[in-house]
Amino acid sequence: MSTYEEKLSILAEMIAFAKADHAIKDSEYDFLLGVATQLGVDKATFDSLFKTEVEKIMPKTQAERIVQFHRLVLLMNVDQEQHQIEVSELHNIGLRMGLPPSAIEQVLTIMHKYPNKIVPPEVLISIFKAHYN
């Protein structure tokens, strides 16, 4: 399980990603707050992440990196708008996390086949498994 600092880093990365299109919509904020709650981060601390920087900590395991990538895909699509800057940033984040470029591309392509572009976790996992075998 992630440390508290790792959880704050996860949220900070997601907040920065949400700001890529220069606006955070209510749906994005609500999604981020839900993730914060799941991670055990209180609302006051979560809100402070919009104003303060925290140390960036790379998720340690490949599984944690895939989960974070999935969170970012969900975040990108929660407002039901997709901007090229978000797609490019998501691709770059995936690369920085060491995820296979072909798997990233496949996820970004396949998401259009699902309602609200929500890739089911088992589909996402199978994509990454195929690229690691």
As a whole number of Å, the CA-based R_g of the chain is 14
Q: Where are the domains of the chain?
A: 4-132
The residue count for the chain? 133
List Cα–Cα distances, 27 to 13, 81, 117, 124, 131, in angstroms: 17, 11, 15, 23, 32
> What would be the CATH architecture of the domain defined by 4-132?
Orthogonal Bundle (1.10)
User: What string of pLDDT tens digits covers the 133 residues of the chain?
Assistant: 579 999 999 999 999 999 987 889 999 999 999 999 999 999 999 999 999 989 999 999 999 999 999 999 999 989 877 778 889 999 999 999 999 999 999 999 999 899 888 889 999 999 999 987 6
What pLDDT score does 84 carry?
85
What pLDDT score does 109 carry?
93
What pLDDT score does 133 carry?
65
DSSP string covering 12-46:
HHHHHHHGGGS---HHHHHHHHHHHHHHT--HHHH
What pLDDT score does 132 carry?
76
List Cα–Cα distances, 70 to 7, 42, 57, 117, in angstroms: 15, 22, 17, 12
